[in-house]
Chain A
Amino acid sequence: IVLTQSPGTLSLSPGERATLSCRASQSVSSSYVAWYQQKAGQAPRLLIYGASSRATGIPDRFTGSGSGTDFTLTISRLEPEDFALYYCQQFGSSPCTFGQGTKVVIK
């Protein structure tokens, strides 16, 4: 399954709402999606699993949603530490696959 993330780059200011899209080439069961955050020179960090469950220590400004072929990661109010690269992953079909990423940059 190919995951297409959009936009490629999202330019926003701290305090603004970020909406990141992940579209699958085939339907994925809604709970078989995860989201990761990656900062420069670091490994990806799990944010959301099972489509909408937050990983340990992840603040509630991060929310995952979606179903079928369209999934969304929403950051309600951007904090300075949220400017990073974000990936979605599907694990409903083997092998699991990742999107190409959305970069959230400071406007």
Chain B
Amino acid sequence: QVQLQESGPGLVKPSQTLSLTCTVSGGSISSGIYYWSWIRQHPGKGLELIGYTFYSGSTYYNPSLKSRLTISVDTSKNLFSLKLSSVTAADTAVYYCARGWSYYGSLGWFDPWGQGTLVTVSS
């Protein structure tokens, strides 16, 4: 079964770039029409879609983050990545990667999810 695992620094300084990687195991990132997604959860708060990529490299970014966001895919390594620039304390959150399912040609639900990684923005 497909599993996802996030990796990356747990502490990032303000104004720097947050970089995370999601490694997919148990299946090929290139098989099927999936939305390889990043979702974050601020401490004690709800969930927010950051954006997603297809294995082709096409991406969607949440408009609220678009100017600072880059999501990319590396099919040879079966992983996808997130870069969020100019971070502030408001970007402190648990970051999840997840596989989004297609529903009538658009993004549907998410399953499975990675275990999540806490990223703290602090000097």
> Which residues of A line the B interface, CB within 8 A?
31-32, 34, 36, 42-46, 49-50, 55, 87, 89, 91, 94-101
Interface of B, secondary structure class, is: strand
Q: How far is the CA of A46 from the CA of B2 in the complex (A)?
A: 14
- B contact residues, range: 20 to 34
Interface residues in B82-104 (C-beta closer than 8 Å to A)? 96, 98, 101, 103
**Could you tell me which B residues sit within 8 Å of A by CB distance?**
45-49, 60, 62-63, 96, 98, 101, 103, 106-116
| Residues of chain A with a CB closer than 8 A to B63's CB | 95
Whether the Cβ atoms of A91 and B115 lie closer than 8 Å is: no
> Would you call B46 and A101 a contact (CB within 8 A)?
yes
Instruction: Tell me the complex Cα distance, A101–B107, Å.
Output: 21
Contact of A91 among B62, B108, B112, B116 (CB under 8 A): B108
- Chain A: interface secondary structure? loop
